[in-house]
C-alpha cells in the first residue's frame, strides 16, 4: 500500500508541475486574477462547469480562450444572442443524397457543443428554450436528437460568462440551470498595479506565444486523482453542517432565518467536497483541510443560496450569508 501511495505521490508531483506551467502560460496573457484562474483550474480538475460573472472589459472571454489555447483540447466559442436556437448549439439533421443509389437520407450534423471546452459567451442573452439545450449536455455528457443519443467527447467543460449590469435583452438563468454549474465565479476589477501592467502589455506590438502544456489525457487522470484525495469523516460532517445551515428550516443561524428563502441542496455538499479535493491537489496535497473547504465555499454556494426580497432590498447577498454561516459553524470535536 505504501508503494502505491508513493507512485500516486510521484504522479501528482509530475502533474502538479504541468499545472504550474499552465498557470505560467496563462500569466503571459492574463495579468492578475490569480483566484479566478485557480477556480477555473479547480473546475477542470473536479470535472464540472463554471459560470463567470463580471462587468465588460475584465477579460472573461480572453481568460477562457487563453486557458483553452494552453490545453491540447478542442475548443469552440458560442456567442449567445436572443435569436439563437437550440439547433445552433446541439446540431440538426440535414437531407443528403447517396450519389450511388440516388436515395435520400437524413444525417445528423453535429453542432459546436461537440467539443471539449465550450465557451458559452453571454449565456444570459439567449431565451430559456436555448439555455435549456445545455442542460442534458452539462449533466449527462450526451445530446439527444430525435430518437438517438450522441455521447460527448471527454473531458467536457462548459465555461459560461454573463454580464451582471445589463438588463435589456437578457434572460436570468433559472435556478435549476445555475445549479448545474459547479462554481459561480465573480471577477473583480484589477488592482492599481495590475491595471498599469495591463495597459502597458496590451497597447504595444508584443504578442504572447502560448504553448500547449496539458493534454486531455492529463486532465482525465487529474480528475481520477481528485477522487482519490482523502477527506476525514469530521470534515465531511462539517460540510453537511454547513449545507444544512443554509436552509431556513434546519439552521440554527439567525442570519439565515432572517434573510434566506431557500438553502442549498445535497449537490452543493458534493460540489464543496469535490472542489476542496481539487484545491488540495492543485496545491500538491493528497488530503483535504478545513481551509480547502472554506476556500471553495463562496463560489460553491453563491448560486445555491437564495436570499429573500428583504435581503435584496438591504443589499444582503448570498456571499454575506455564506460568510456568516462559516463564522457560526464549527468543526465538531472528534
Residue 159 φ then ψ, to 5° = -115, 110
Can you give the pLDDT at residue 279? Answer: 94
Grid-cell match 487522470, residue found: 221
125 shares its domain with 259: no
Residue 200 φ then ψ, to 5° = -70, -40
Q: Report the C-alpha gap between 126 and 108 in whole angstroms.
A: 24
Residue 280 placed within a domain: yes
Whole-Å CA distances, 258 to 175, 251, 253? 21, 11, 9
144 shares its domain with 193: yes
Whole-Å CA distances, 47 to 26, 219, 229? 20, 9, 14
166 shares its domain with 67: yes
Residue 208 placed within a domain: no
Residue 165 placed within a domain: yes
162 shares its domain with 248: no
Residue with the larger pLDDT of the pair 99 and 26: 26
Arithmetic mean of pLDDT, 275-304:
94
Which CATH number covers residue 269?
1.10.8.80
Residue with the larger pLDDT of the pair 42 and 166: 42
Can you give the pLDDT at residue 168? Answer: 65
Arithmetic mean of pLDDT, 277-286:
91
The whole domain housing 314 covers 229-327
Residue 210 placed within a domain: no
25 shares its domain with 150: yes
Q: Report the C-alpha gap between 28 and 18 in whole angstroms.
A: 16
Can you give the pLDDT at residue 194? Answer: 86
- Helices 2-27 and 60-69 pack at an angle, to 10 degrees, of 130
Domains contained in the chain, number: 2
Highest mean predicted confidence (pLDDT) among 93-102, 135-144, 317-326? 317-326
79 shares its domain with 139: yes
Residue 214 placed within a domain: no
91 shares its domain with 2: yes
Structural contact between residues 230 and 280, judged by C-beta atoms closer than 8 angstroms = no
Which CATH number covers residue 63?
3.40.50.300
Residue 216 placed within a domain: no
157 shares its domain with 270: no
pLDDT higher than threshold 90 for residue 260: yes
Arithmetic mean of pLDDT, 270-283:
94
Give the length of the chain.
334
6 shares its domain with 138: yes
47 shares its domain with 181: yes
Helical spans, DSSP H, in 47-161: 60-69, 86-90, 128-131, 135-140
Largest Cα separation within the chain, whole Å, is 76
Nearest CA to 12 out of 228, 236, 244 is that of 228
Residue range 41-57, pLDDT digits in tens: 999 999 999 999 888 87
Handedness of CA 314, 320, 321, 327 (dihedral sign): negative
35 shares its domain with 169: yes
- Helices 216-228 and 266-282 pack at an angle, to 10 degrees, of 110
- Mean of pLDDT over the chain: 87
* DSSP states of 175-211: HHHHTT-SEEEE--PPPHHHHHHHHHHHSSS------
Residue 286 placed within a domain: yes
User: CA triplet 87, 172, 303: central angle to 5 degrees?
Assistant: 110
17 shares its domain with 118: yes
Whole-Å CA distances, 69 to 21, 22, 65, 66, 188? 13, 10, 6, 5, 23
pLDDT higher than threshold 80 for residue 68: yes
Residue 223 placed within a domain: no
Can you give the pLDDT at residue 241? Answer: 95
Residue where a domain terminates, one of 149, 168, 203: 203
Query: 169: burial class by Cβ within 10 Å (0-12, 13-18, 19+)?
Result: exposed
Residue where a domain terminates, one of 162, 187, 203: 203
* DSSP states of 40-57: HHHHHHHT--EEEE--TT
- SS3 (DSSP) at 213: coil
- Helices 34-46 and 2-27 pack at an angle, to 10 degrees, of 140
Amino acid at each position: 500500500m505504501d508503494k502505491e501511495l508513493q507512485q500516486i505521490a510521484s504522479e501528482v508531483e509530475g502533474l502538479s508541475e504541468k499545472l504550474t506551467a499552465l498557470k505560467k502560460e496563462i500569466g503571459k496573457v492574463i495579468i492578475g486574477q490569480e483566484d479566478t484562474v485557480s477556480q477555473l483550474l479547480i473546475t477542470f480538475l473536479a470535472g464540472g462547469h463554471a459560470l463567470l460573472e463580471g462587468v465588460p472589459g475584465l477579460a472573461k472571454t480572453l481568460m477562457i480562450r487563453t486557458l483553452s489555447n494552453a490545453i491540447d483540447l478542442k475548443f469552440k466559442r458560442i456567442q449567445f444572442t436572443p435569436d439563437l436556437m437550440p439547433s445552433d448549439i446541439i446540431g440538426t439533421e440535414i437531407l443528403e443524397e447517396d450519389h450511388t443509389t440516388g436515395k435520400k437520407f437524413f444525417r445528423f450534423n453535429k453542432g459546436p457543443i461537440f467539443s471539449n471546452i465550450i465557451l458559452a459567451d453571454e449565456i444570459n442573452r439567449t431565451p430559456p428554450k436555448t439555455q435549456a439545450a445545455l442542460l442534458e449536455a452539462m449533466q449527462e455528457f450526451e445530446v439527444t436528437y430525435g430518437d438517438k443519443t450522441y455521447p460527448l467527447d471527454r473531458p467536457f467543460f462548459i465555461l459560461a460568462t454573463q454580464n451582471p449590469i445589463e438588463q435589456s435583452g437578457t434572460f436570468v438563468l433559472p435556478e435549476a440551470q445555475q445549479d448545474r454549474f459547479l462554481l459561480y465565479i465573480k471577477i473583480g476589477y484589477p488592482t492599481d498595479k495590475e491595471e498599469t501592467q495591463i495597459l502597458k502589455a496590451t497597447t504595444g506590438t508584443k504578442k504572447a506565444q502560448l504553448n500547449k502544456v496539458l493534454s486531455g489525457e492529463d486532465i482525465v487522470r487529474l480528475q481520477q486523482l481528485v477522487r482519490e484525495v482523502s477527506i476525514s469523516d469530521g470534515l465531511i460532517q462539517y460540510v453537511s453542517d454547513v449545507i444544512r445551515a443554509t436552509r431556513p428550516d434546519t439552521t440554527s443561524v439567525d442570519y439565515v432565518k432572517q434573510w434566506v428563502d431557500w438553502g442549498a441542496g445535497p449537490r452543493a455538499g458534493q460540489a464543496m467536497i469535490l472542489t476542496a479535493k481539487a484545491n488540495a491537489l492543485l496545491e500538491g496535497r493528497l488530503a483535504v483541510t478545513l481551509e480547502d473547504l472554506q476556500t471553495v465555499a463562496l463560489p460553491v454556494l453563491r448560486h445555491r443560496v437564495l436570499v429573500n426580497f428583504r435581503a435584496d432590498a438591504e443589499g444582503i447577498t448570498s456571499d454575506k450569508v455564506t460568510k456568516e454561516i462559516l463564522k457560526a459553524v464549527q468543526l465538531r470535536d472528534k
